[in-house]
Structure formats: structure tokens, C-alpha cells
Chain A
Amino acid sequence: MAPTIHYYCPCQSGESVQTPPPPHMASSSASFHPLHSLFFCEECDAVRCNRCVSVEVSGYYCPNCLFEVPSASVRAEKNRCARNCFSCPICRSTLQVVASDPPDGGDGRPSVSLSNVGEPPFFLYCNHCRWDSAEVGITFEKPTGLAAQLQKFEDSAPESLEFERLKEHFEPFLRTSSLSSLSHVPSTSSHHLPTSSATAAASAALARDVPGVGKYNPLARSRVGRDRTANKDEMPEYKSRMEIGVLGQLGSEGDSSDVEALRRMESAEEIASLEQRWGNSWTTSLRTSDLRPLRIPLHSKVSKRCPSCRHILIKPEQKAQSVRYKIKLVAANYLPAMTVALPHTQGADATRRPQAKVPSASDDRNAGAMMAGKSYPFHLALTNPLYDPIQVRLSVQRMHVTAATNSTAPEKARRTPFAVSLPTSSFPVAAFAEAWEYDDDDDMFGLEDDELGLEMGRTRDKDGKGKVKTVGVLEKRANVTVVGGEVVIGKEARGHVKFNMLVSYTYRSDDPLPSEDGAGTPSRTVAKTPEVKTFTFYTVVDLGPILPREEKLDPDI
């Protein structure tokens, strides 16, 4: 596996703790993300991730016909495509509408040459597994508006009718109580994540007492009588249209008939798998032969907001298939992009494989592993996305001393199985310029590659003695600076060479200084000159697995 570098989003840790968990803890992986999946809030001056942003639907579309469904009709159409898009009940591929075959000419060939649109009845047909809807008795006289024809069946299902009745029953109550509850926000929504009005209303609704259902409350027992009488005034009792048992028999046949059906089955394929039944809105029969085509569920485009200041971070264009955004505040436009590489694997690749071949995965794995008890140089390439040059300083996050002292001696040895050296002084990364985008002609890159080759050669040569040379700035070109680091792996080391790295960079800011620094910006400090700002963030660097020494010896025995 190639070495990776991921970026820290502080949302998983508490308000007070801004340092990430140690890299070897399982919880650590939840806090680190690839740079390209992160956002950046300019207001808070902070990194945000998909786990912490609040999301709002900005539009619905069918992923198959790409029709943009107006929000108003999404509910009536039950969140599924209301045109001609269905998924196969057997393999969940998309179904096609096809015409019936003309009469057989006798030898499997058509008796007359086919030239027209086709003849009814039409049916749905799966290109992948060859299921067709005529198998379950669904055919159409016209090849259009199929969903509308099928939705009639859906809507007349007893479960659907019951649900509609339930909604009708609760509607007046919901309307009155939502009006009254909007004024006072219940305590449960004082959660630190602010929410949109829609989610606030939903959580308010969820926090309300449900009439007839006792809300769990240790004190409630004494008051339960009072609550009931209060609610009874508002709510008449609901009577279902049919008995629960009857309903079960209509859909999934009920327990005893299911058992009976299972007794008579001869192969596992006769039972619909959980996956095949999962997408259904209502309970369905257990038998594969009863499965119906499903209208394809809609997808949505979403806007994303900063969880603390509600500033919008992502706002897509209205058109469903547009990949452009009206607002797109991604971390990659603010933080330097970093890649990490182990030159000893690259050197091997470049010399061993002169043919035009991409190194295969197995080769990579062997070459990428590091031996316990040895030291390895590594390269960090930083690319500056800003239009101003930056000064970068790197440092390795120390392991928690308290944790180390509390643990026993062998554990302590495992906690620091390797030592990482990084350049101690800060170094510059030149500003990004649009012009470099066009400088991608062969000559320039050929030259760069040669230089890089020399550089790698040099570091390799001095690996034995001049170790100092591997640490420091190795190369500068355009808005990229490559620095070298080194890892010394202990003899008893196990696991991965994985460490948290603190990156801080200073840049010249065009904005006037904000009057106050909010609580959400503890990582940023203002330097003496007012135009210079410093931003600090954590990353985790994974250089790859350590091969224990024993393993290496094994083949020799």
C-alpha cells in the first residue's frame, strides 16, 4: 500500500480538546479524512468534514431518467420516480420497456420482417438476469406512463391505505401542536449543533409526548393520569381498518403459511433474499416468484453548512447533472496539499521497471514494507493552493506522556517503536499561479523528473553515512516544495509507521483583522504584523507496515 496522509477535522473531539487522538487508537481513523473530502469555513477559520456539516436537500432527481422532480410532487410520488424507471426485483438492475414478440416463423426467426415500433402488450424486461414483468402478470397496453399505472396498485395496498388513514387521523393534532411548539424550543435541541428550521421542527415533534404512549420519565408515574386526561381532550382514539393479523396475512402470509410454504420449497432461490425485499415500502411475500418491479428511488442534491456558524459551504447549481457549484468552500483551496512517498520504493520501481508498466499491487506491497531496526528517508511534497507564498513548519505530535508513564515497561517500548525526524526550521512554498496550469508540456516535466531522479539518487547514496542530508528541503518547483524526513524504526517495532503531524503555515492575509476571535478559532493566532496569519492543522501520516525481523529470517531457515 502506498503511504497516505490524512487531515484532521476536530469535530469528533470535545470543545476543549483540539488535539487528535493518538494514531494507533481505532477512534483515530474517524477523525482523519482525505483532503479532498474536507470543507473549510472562512467565518470560523476551521476545517469541516462530512460528519459535522449540516445538510439540506436542494433538489430531487431520478438517477435513471435524470428527471428533476419538483419538491412539491416528491411526497405524493413517495420519493420514487413516477415516470418509466423501475428496478429488477431479482437483480436490481434497471428494467427496459419492450414490446411483445411477433408470431414465430416456425424456426425461431420472425415470420415477417420487423419494422415497426412493436406490438402490445408491453412489459418490463431485465437486460441483466432476463426477468420480465409478464412473469408476475404485469403488462401494459401502452409503453408510456408505466409508473402511474403501477402506482395504482401500490396505493391500493392495504398497508398504504392504513397509513393514509393514520396520517389523516394525526394531521389536525400535528398542525395544532407544531404551531404551539415552535415558540418554545425543547431542551433536547440545545445540542451544540445548530439545525435548520426543518430539522428543528422535526426534533421538536420528536420531543413531544405522544398521546397514549407514556414518555419515559422517572417522575411520570405519579403524573400519568393527569397527562392522559389532558391529551384525551385533543385526540380521539384511532381504530385500524383491520386486525393486525389480517394485515400480516395479506402481505407476507403470516407465520404459519410462511412455514407451510417453506416446507414445500425445493431450492434456496425460491425465497426472496433480504436484499431483494429491502427496498420495498411494505412487507412483501417471502417467495421470489411474487416479487414486483420497484419504482426507482429518487436521489437528491444537497447544500452543506458549517455546523457552528451556519455559513454555507457547498451550494450546488440547480441543474441535477451539473457538476458545478455556486458556492464551494473546500479545504483543498485553503490548506497545502501534501503527498508522502518512500523514495526507497520509488527508486526500486524506476530502476527495475523500465518497460511501460504500472507497478503491480504485489510489487508495491513488497517494496513498500519497512524492516524493523532500520531507518528510512521519506519525502513530503507540499503544494500551495494560495495566491500568496506560505511559510510552513512541521512537527511530530508527541505521544501522550501520561499514557506512557501509566503503562508497563513493554507497552512503553511499543508506544514509541520509531522516531521521526522532520525539518526543524520553517520553509517556504511558492504561491500558486494560474500560468503553471498551462506549463504541462513534456520538456518541463522531463527536466523535473531528471532532477528528481538525481535527488533520489543522492539521498540513497548518502543513506549510509550522511544521514543529515535526507532531512530538509529537497526540491522547490512552481508551487511545490519537497522536504525530506527520516524514520528510525526500533528493533522490536510492530504495526504501522503512523504518526500525527502538526502543520502550521503563515500567509499574508488580505482581509482586515476580525475584531474578535471566536471560541471556534483557537488554532489560529495572529502574528505581530497584522497582515500575516498563521493556520495550524493536524494530519496523520501512514508510511506503511513494519516487517518484523523474524519474518525476514524465516525463508532462510
Chain B
Amino acid sequence: MASGRDDEQMRHADDENTGDITIGPGTVVHPKATIFAIAGPIVIGSGCIIEEAAIIVNRRKEVMRVGDNNLFEIGCRVECPSVGNFNTISTRARVHHTVRISNYCVIGAACLVVPTDDETLDDYTSIFGPAAERRIWSGRGRIQEADLRLKHAEYLREMLPKFNRLRRGDGA
């Protein structure tokens, strides 16, 4: 089995991907992740990591755009119409389709973000705790985090093919 190259995205044979989906180069999709374009298409940028049991859904007609280098952790569910770059959606967090995410945001583990009105999270928004409290973090440590994410994606592209059956897509 060929190892992943940077110009190709990598997906697993047992992911469930349905609808009009475009995934950028260097993005890694773990087994058991689901990307589901119910209404409009989903476009995912490069260098993202989509972990096991994560669910990305587009219920809206418009294109759902996910930027580069985002991390979707285990079992999270994201329905946002737009996601910028370098965001972290932590384990089992859920974000509703009324939320647009800018850059360097962190949605904490198990947080539920479901505002009734449409809103956009500012850059560096951190959401945490049982009541989904918010604060703006300083951004200190962001370079090291980006470095970790780049190396992580690189590692996965190299290691995952050794253990898993892959679907090597050229688009959807």
C-alpha cells in the first residue's frame, strides 16, 4: 500500500461520506468518521485532521466551507456553515449550524454550542465547561500548537496506511 503523499487527502474505507464533498490535500480522515452533505456541498481545506466518530454535516443549501489545519477530535459534531483555520473542535463537542467559527477557536470537550440566532465566534474564542462559558484566549502557544498539528497530520499520513484500508479520493 502506498504511503500518503502531501498532495492527496487520505480517507478510510469505513468512513461514511455522503453527498457532494471536496477534501483538500493533506487532510486526514480517521476510520468511522462521517462527512454528510445533506443539502449543500461540503468543502474541506488542507491539513485538517478528522478523528474517529467525528461527524461533519451540512444541512444548509449554501456551501459549507472548512478552512485549513483544523482538528476535529473524537466524536465531535459540527454543522457550522463556515469554519476558518487552525481551530480545534474538542472531543464530543457539538456545534450547531447557527454558529460560524473564525480562526484559532477552541470548542472544549463535551461542550454544546447551540445559539438560537446566527452568530460568528471571534478569532481566539475559547468555549469550555458544562455551561459552555466563553473567553478570548491570548494566542500564546499558538505557534507550538500549529507545529504539533502539522507534525501530527504528517505522522498520520505516514502511519495510517500501514494498518488501514484506504480510499484515495480524487474528489468526491
- B144–A99 contact, CB under 8 A? yes
Chain B residues, CB < 8 A from A109: 143, 146-147, 150
- B144–A101 contact, CB under 8 A? yes
Interface 1/0 per residue, B144-168 and A, CB below 8 Å: 1011001000000000000000000
Instruction: Name the segment of B32-40, B48-56, B130-138 touching the other chain.
Output: B130-138
Contact residues on A (Cβ < 8 Å of other chain), bracket: 20 to 34
| Most chain B CB atoms below 10 A, which of A90, A102, A103, A129 | A129
- A132–B141 contact, CB under 8 A? yes
Question: CA of A12 to CA of B138 in the docked complex: distance in angstroms?
Answer: 54
Q: Chain A: which residue is nearest B149 at the CB level?
A: A109
Q: A98-B141, A130-B106, A132-B141 are in contact. Are A110 and B135 (CB under 8 A)?
A: no
Q: A102-B143, A108-B143, A110-B146 are in contact. Are A129 and B138 (CB under 8 A)?
A: no
Q: A128-B128, A129-B133 are in contact. Are A134 and B138 (CB under 8 A)?
A: yes
Chain A residues, CB < 8 A from B135: 90, 129-131, 269
Chain B residues, CB < 8 A from A102: 143-144
Q: Shortest beta-carbon distance, B98 to chain A, in Å?
A: 21
A91 interface residue per 8 A CB criterion: yes
Show the binding face of A for B, using Cβ within 8 Å.
90-91, 98-105, 108-110, 113-114, 118, 123, 125, 128-132, 134-135, 269
Contact residues on B (Cβ < 8 Å of other chain), bracket: 20 to 34
Q: A90-B135, A128-B108, A130-B106 are in contact. Are A104 and B143 (CB under 8 A)?
A: yes
Question: CA of A98 to CA of B10 in the docked complex: distance in angstroms?
Answer: 32
Question: CA of A123 to CA of B85 in the docked complex: distance in angstroms?
Answer: 25
Chain A residues, CB < 8 A from B106: 130
B115 interface residue per 8 A CB criterion: no
Chain B residues, CB < 8 A from A103: 143
- B142–A132 contact, CB under 8 A? no
Q: Chain A: which residue is nearest B135 at the CB level?
A: A129
Show the binding face of B for A, using Cβ within 8 Å.
69, 85-86, 106, 108, 126, 128-129, 133-135, 137-138, 140-144, 146-147, 150
Q: Chain B: which residue is nearest A288 at the CB level?
A: B135
- B128–A101 contact, CB under 8 A? no
Question: CA of A100 to CA of B146 in the docked complex: distance in angstroms?
Answer: 13
A-B contact pairs, 29 of them (CB 8 A): A91-B129, A99-B144, A101-B141, A101-B142, A101-B143, A102-B144, A104-B143, A105-B143, A108-B85, A108-B146, A109-B146, A109-B147, A109-B150, A113-B147, A114-B147, A118-B144, A123-B140, A125-B140, A128-B108, A128-B128, A129-B108, A129-B133, A129-B135, A130-B106, A130-B126, A131-B137, A132-B137, A132-B138, A134-B140
Chain B residues, CB < 8 A from A125: 140-141
- A110–B141 contact, CB under 8 A? no
Q: Shortest beta-carbon distance, B142 to chain A, in Å?
A: 7
In order of increasing CB-CB distance, the 10 nearest A-B pairs are: A130-B137, A101-B143, A130-B126, A129-B128, A114-B147, A110-B143, A110-B147, A132-B140, A109-B146, A108-B146
- A129–B143 contact, CB under 8 A? no
Question: CA of A134 to CA of B86 in the docked complex: distance in angstroms?
Answer: 22
Chain A residues, CB < 8 A from B150: 109
| Most chain B CB atoms below 10 A, which of A98, A100, A104, A109 | A109
Chain A residues, CB < 8 A from B140: 100-101, 123, 125, 132, 134
